[in-house]
Amino acid sequence: MDRMNNPNLQDKRSNQELAQIVKKIQRYMALKHSQDLNSKNPDVPGIKNKIAKYISDENLTLDGFSSMALVDRAFQEMCEYSILTSYLKRNDIEEINVNSWEDIKVRFGTGKIETLKETFFSPTDAKDIMIRLLDRESENKMDATVPIVRGHLFNNVRITSSIAPVLDENRGVQASIRVINPSKLGQRDFIRSCTLTNEMFELLKLCLFNGISICVPGATNSGKTTLMSGILKETPADQRLITIEEQTREFDLIDYDSEGYISKEVIHWKTHGEFDMNKLLEMSLTCNPDIICAAEMKSKEAYAAQEAARTGHAVIGTIHANSCRSTYKRMVTLCKMAVDLDYEILYELVTEAFPIVVFTKKLKDNSRKVMEITECYTDDEGKIKIQTLYRYVVLSSEVTPEGKTIMHGEFRKVNCISEYLQNLLLSNGVPSQSIEMLLKTPELIV
C-alpha cells in the first residue's frame, strides 16, 4: 500500500519528524539555557520566547504545525507532560489509558474512546515523562526499585502506573489515569443519562438522609464513587456530613449561597500516616455527624463502618463486589481483618448495618447503570431476607457498522420496600406521605 494513502503510516512519519525537531530544540536549550529549564520557578514566557527564536533562526518547519504549535510542543516535552499535558487540563475526560509509549487511548465523559494519533517519542521518553508527572503532581516516586505505583494526581485524579522491570522495557510506560466525577454530576444528570430513575434516586435520598445506611458495590470504573458523590451532593443543609477518603480528596461537596457563605455543614477528611480510614471512622463519631461517607471500604475499616451504622449514624460507602447479595459476604471478609468473630455473627452485623445495597455496572456500550437495588431485613421468624426493589434488564444489543455497541434495556420495580423499612423510616421522622409515594405497585418505571 502506498504510504501516502495509509493514514497510519503518515501519522507515524509525522511523529518521527516532530520528534527529530523537538529533540533538536531540546539539545539547544539544554546546552544554552539549562539554568532556565532547571529553575524551581521557571520563566515560562521567557523559555517559550527562546524556543521561538531558535525555531525562527533555524527555520524549523513541519507540515500541520504553526511556529507557535512547535513552541508549545517542545515546551510540553521539556517542562510539562508531553502529549498528556492538554488532556490532563480538560474537564470532559473520564480516563486516559497509556498502554505503552505508542498506544494511548482517551475515554470521554460521553463514552467515546479516542486513540491518540500522536504518541510519545520513544519508550525512554515516555518513562521519563511519567516519572516527572508523578514526582511533581503526587506523593509517589517511581524508579527501577519501585516500578509500579498507585496514587492520586491533583484533587480527583487516580493513577496506577508501571515501568520496567514489571513492564517490558520496550513498552516504556503503562498508566491508567482516571478522573472521578469531573463534572460534579447531580440528580438530574443521572436521570438524564439513564443511570437510574428518579424514583430510585429519591428512595436512596430518603433512606440516607433519614438514618438508613447504604453500600454501593461494583467493579472498578463502574461509577460507584460518582453516584455516591451525586447522592451526597443533595445532603440537606441542616445535616452534618463527614467524608473520609484515602490520601487525596476527590469529593468537593462544600456549597456557597448567593452571598458567598457556606450553606452546608461538610467536613472533608483524608487519611495521613497513622490516621488511616479505620481510625478516622472511629474519630468521626465524636464529631456528632448525621452522615458519614467511607469513600471506599477495602480493609478492616469495614468493621468500623458497620459499627457506626449500627449506632444510629447514616453511613454510605463503596466496596468492590460482583452483586448486591455478594456485597455482604465481601464485607464479612473485610471485617475479619479487624476482628475474629464467627462468620454468622459478622453476617448478621453487616446486614443489619447496611439495609440498602446499590449495585453499579459499566455495560458494553460504556454506559453506567444501577443494575439492582436490594433491601435486607429480618422477618418475623428472625430470618435474614434480601429482596430486590429495582432492577435494570438488558433487552437487546446491537453493533453499528462503525463498531459501536448500543444496548437497549429498561428499569423495573420488582418489590416495594418492606414493612420493616417503612416502620423504621416512620420512627426516624419521615412523613407517611413520603413513604406512600414509594409503595406504588411494582411495574415498569422506565
Phi-psi region for residue 312, left (φ > 0), alpha (ψ -120 to 50) or beta?
Answer: left
Residue 139 lies in domain: 82-179
Which of 79, 97, 124 is the C-terminal boundary of a domain?
Answer: 79
In a domain, 441, yes or no: no
pTM (predicted TM-score): 0.75
Is 443 domain-assigned? no
Question: What's the CA gap between 71 and 17, in Å, rounded?
Answer: 15
How many domains in the chain? Answer: 3
Q: 205 pLDDT exceeds 70?
A: yes
Confidence class for position 182, pLDDT limits 50, 70, 90: low
Q: Residue 41: which pLDDT band, with cuts at 50, 70 and 90?
A: confident
Q: How far apart, in Å, are the Cα atoms of 1 and each of 8, 327, 412?
A: 11, 54, 53
Whether 10 shows a pLDDT value over 80: the answer reads: no
Shared domain for 267 and 279, answered yes or no, is: yes
Confidence of residue 5 (pLDDT cuts 50, 70, 90): very low
- Cα separations (Å) of 273 from 17, 34, 184, 277, 441? 48, 37, 29, 10, 51
In which element (H, E) is residue 334 found?
A: helix 324-335
Q: Is 11 in the same domain as 94?
A: no
Single residue among 127, 149, 179 that ends a domain in this structure = 179
21 and 169 within one domain = no
Percent of the chain with pLDDT over 70: 94
Same domain, 209 and 273: yes
In a domain, 445, yes or no: no
Of the residues 26, 47, 79, the one at which a domain ends: 79
**Claim to verify: residue 28 and residue 92 sit in the same structural domain:** no
Asked if 206 and 264 sit in the same domain, the reply is yes
Nearest to 338 by CA among 374, 372, 297, 373: 297
pLDDT of the residue at 90? 87
Q: What are phi and psi of 111, to 5 degrees?
A: 100, -15
Q: Within a domain: residue 315?
A: yes
Q: In terms of domains, do 216 and 170 share one?
A: no
For residue 158, tell me if it sits in a domain.
yes
What is the Cα–Cα distance from 336 to 353, expressed in whole angstroms?
Answer: 16
For residue range 134-179, what is the model confidence (pLDDT) as tens digits?
999 888 899 999 999 988 887 678 899 999 999 999 999 999 998 8
CA distance 127 to 132: 9
Q: Which range (81-85, 401-405, 435-439) has the least confidence?
A: 401-405
62 assigned to some structural domain? yes
pLDDT band for position 7 (cuts 50, 70, 90): very low
Provide the pLDDT for residue 3. Answer: 38
CB atoms within 10 A of CB 10: 14
User: Are 6 and 73 part of one and the same domain?
Assistant: yes
DSSP SS3 for 428: coil
Q: Do 216 and 317 touch, CB atoms closer than 8 A?
A: yes
Q: Looking at residue 392, which CATH number applies to its domain?
A: 3.40.50.300
Cβ atoms < 10 Å from Cβ of 63: 7
Residue 442 domain-assigned (yes or no): no
Tell me, yes or no, whether 444 lies in a domain: no
Q: Do 288 and 417 lie in a common domain? A: yes
- The single-letter DSSP state of residue 35 is H
CATH number, domain of 91, equals 3.30.450.90
Range ranked top by mean pLDDT from 210-214, 259-263, 268-272: 210-214
pLDDT band with cut points at 50, 70 and 90 for residue 85: very high
- Selected residue with higher pLDDT from 119 and 252: 119
Amino acid at 139: E
pLDDT tens digits, one per residue of 403-413: 788 899 999 99
Q: Are residues 55 and 162 in the same domain?
A: no
Residue 161 and residue 16 in one domain: no
Is there a single domain that holds both residue 112 and residue 144?
A: yes
